[in-house]
Amino acid sequence: MNWQPMLTFSTDQSINWETLTSRCIGRIDLVEKALDRFQQALVGDLEALEAAADEQNSEEVARIAHRIKGTSLTVSADRLAEIATKLEQKAEGSLQNVDESLSDIREEYDRLTDIISQRRVGDRQ
């Protein structure tokens, strides 16, 4: 996989490719494995997060947001980690005004999925 273009993706990037590649000691196979696991975990976390929000369970929303923050930081998905941090802080008080954060998490998840999928397709060509 040609990861070089991603290292300078943008200053407003969803994934800090340079940091992620460094964390994976430059091994692209480890980058791919980390991103696969991240995506798989995130799918379940988003479903659980939405269910907890629907049930008005602020403690569970905060716990899941914290987990999303951690897994995001592991793969250098800094923007998602920041959004999850804000949601976690909001949920620790109450679930009022969390709809925007939930929407932001969904949008960033979609963005990350597209970016990762585009890179995979680019590798096959």
User: What is the SS3 assignment for the chain?
Assistant: CCCHHHHCCCCCCCCCHHHHHHHCCCCHHHHHHHHHHHHHHHHHHHHHHHHHHHCCCHHHHHHHHHHHHHHHHHCCCHHHHHHHHHHHHHHHHCCCCCHHHHHHHHHHHHHHHHHHHHHHHHHHC
* pLDDT the model gives residue 96: 81
Q: What is the pLDDT along the chain (125 residues), one digit of tens a residue?
A: 444 334 333 335 799 999 999 999 999 999 999 999 999 999 999 999 999 999 999 999 999 999 999 999 999 999 999 999 999 999 988 888 788 889 999 999 999 999 888 876 555 54
Per-residue model confidence (pLDDT) at position 99: 86
To the nearest 10 degrees (0 to 180), the angle between helices 58-74 and 78-93 is 160
